[in-house]
């Protein structure tokens, strides 16, 4: 599909330029992290998942319209069978409009995939690791084997992928482990992003019981380590510090600090829907538009979505309040 000269770039009604697309390539996962999904999570029927060609066409269109960064996510992207082929397809856009192709993964399949990811042009990945205690890892993920993730991280590092660890901080589970995680990441040369648990999708417990404001964690870390404020900004919801090892510490705190004013991202789900905000239910069916009317209909649907991008999310975590949004993070793509 060629880029139409008359089609405008991606600017929403609040004047925010959208140059970052997150793509959830599957809602399925080999883990069941307790803050993310329920033990009995029900996934979309396979027939509803977009094929590799549809994903490549839609992502290609976003790149033609000004998207510079694409993050592949899920569910667990590396459990999708054709994922490496798809990433190779998308990698052909690098240097042709696309500046960065990246991935968020739980790391369980990383040992097998790392080298091919790197040769496809992926330079940096985010790996979720909420604890380095094998028993607690199994408790949080309900089935995970920590050794597999550590082997994946070793392979990633070995083939030159830069790694950022994502850690969702959970009261009474891993909150006391944050200083040790920061130190370990520093020694390994990994950046670390701490994340507040967000009220997305029903789980088997009350998220309010596990919620930790990251302001508290920052206070604790500042007492223990010499952290320097880092001016790095990404238009995302993170604020950054430099650790004594030179690695970056990011705080993603959508509940206690709102950065929606500078939001530059939209999300494509595995069933072809465009969500312009993680915290709202409005979506546009891009796959349907593409099939019904080709490129012009796809462009019109993208424009419609952007015209309705909300100003901000309204996440709320209070005892008994339940999820603000019924959709799980694994569906929209974290």
Query: For binding to ligand SAM (CB under 6 A), which residues are involved?
Result: 29, 35-36, 73-74, 76, 104-106, 128, 166, 168, 195, 197-198, 200, 329-330, 334
CB of 143 to ligand SF4, least distance (A): 10
CB of 167 to ligand SAM, least distance (A): 8
Residue among 7, 21, 23, 37 that touches ligand SF4 (CB under 6 A): 37
What does DSSP assign to residue 23? E
33 binds ligand SF4 (CB under 6 A): yes
Nearer to ligand SAM, 12 or 166 (CB): 166
Return contacts of 316-322, CB within 8 angstroms, 24+ apart. Answer: 316/199, 317/197, 317/198, 317/199, 317/207, 317/208, 317/211, 317/255, 318/208, 319/206, 319/208, 319/209, 320/206, 320/208, 321/199, 321/208, 322/199, 322/202
Nearer to ligand SAM, 195 or 260 (CB): 195
Other Cβ atoms closer than 10 A to 143: 13
Question: What is the C-alpha separation between 178 and 192, in angstroms, rounded?
Answer: 10
| Nearest partner of 20 among 60, 66, 61, judged by Cα | 66
Beta strands 20-24; 69-73: pairing state: parallel
Number of shown-chain residues binding ligand SF4 (CB under 6 A):
12
Find which of ligand SAM, ligand SF4, none residue 27 binds, CB within 5 to 8 Å per kind. none
CB of 225 to ligand SAM, least distance (A): 22
Question: What is the C-alpha separation between 155 and 218, in angstroms, rounded?
Answer: 31
Nearer to ligand SF4, 37 or 114 (CB): 37
Find which of ligand SAM, ligand SF4, none residue 200 binds, CB within 5 to 8 Å per kind. ligand SAM
Return contacts of 236-244, CB within 8 angstroms, 24+ apart. Answer: 236/263, 236/264, 236/265, 238/193, 243/182, 243/185, 243/186, 243/192, 244/186
Nearer to ligand SAM, 169 or 298 (CB): 169
76 binds ligand SF4 (CB under 6 A): yes
Find which of ligand SAM, ligand SF4, none residue 332 binds, CB within 5 to 8 Å per kind. none
**Contact positions vs ligand SF4 (CB under 6 A):** 29, 31-33, 36-37, 74-76, 106, 128, 330
């Amino acid at each position: 599909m060629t880029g139409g000269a008359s089609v405008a770039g991606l600017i929403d009604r609040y004047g925010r330029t959208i140059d970052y697309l997150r793509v959830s390539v599957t809602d399925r996962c080999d883990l069941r992290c307790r803050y993310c999904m329920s033990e009995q999570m029900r996934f979309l029927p396979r027939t509803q998942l977009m094929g590799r060609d549809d994903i490549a066409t839609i992502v290609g269109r976003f790149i033609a319209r000004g998207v510079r960064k694409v993050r592949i996510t899920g569910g667990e992207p590396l459990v999708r069978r054709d994922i490496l082929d798809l990433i190779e397809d998308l990698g052909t856009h690098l240097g042709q409009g696309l500046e960065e192709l990246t991935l968020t993964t739980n790391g369980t399949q990383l040992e097998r995939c790392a080298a091919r990811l790197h040769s496809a042009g992926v330079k940096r990945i985010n790996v979720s690791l909420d604890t380095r205690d094998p028993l607690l890892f199994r408790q949080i993920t309900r089935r995970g084997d920590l050794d597999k993730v550590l082997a994946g991280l070793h392979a990633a590092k070995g083939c030159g992928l830069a790694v950022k660890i994502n850690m969702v901080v959970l009261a009474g589970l891993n909150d006391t482990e944050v200083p040790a995680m920061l130190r370990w990441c520093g020694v390994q040369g990994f950046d670390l992003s701490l994340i507040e648990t967000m009220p997305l999708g029903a789980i088997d417990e009350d998220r309010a019981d596990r919620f930790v404001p990251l302001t508290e964690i920052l206070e604790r870390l500042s007492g223990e380590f010499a952290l320097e404020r880092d001016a790095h900004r990404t238009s995302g919801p993170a604020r950054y510090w430099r650790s004594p090892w030179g690695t970056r510490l990011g705080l993603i705190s959508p509940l206690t600090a709102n950065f929606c004013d500078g939001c530059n991202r939209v999300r494509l789900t595995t069933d072809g829907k465009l969500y312009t905000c993680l915290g709202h239910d409005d979506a546009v069916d891009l796959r349907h538009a593409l099939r019904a009317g080709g490129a012009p209909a796809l462009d019109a649907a993208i424009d419609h979505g952007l015209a309705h991008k909300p100003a901000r999310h309204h996440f709320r975590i209070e005892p008994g309040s339940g999820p603000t949004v019924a959709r799980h993070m694994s569906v929209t793509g974290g």
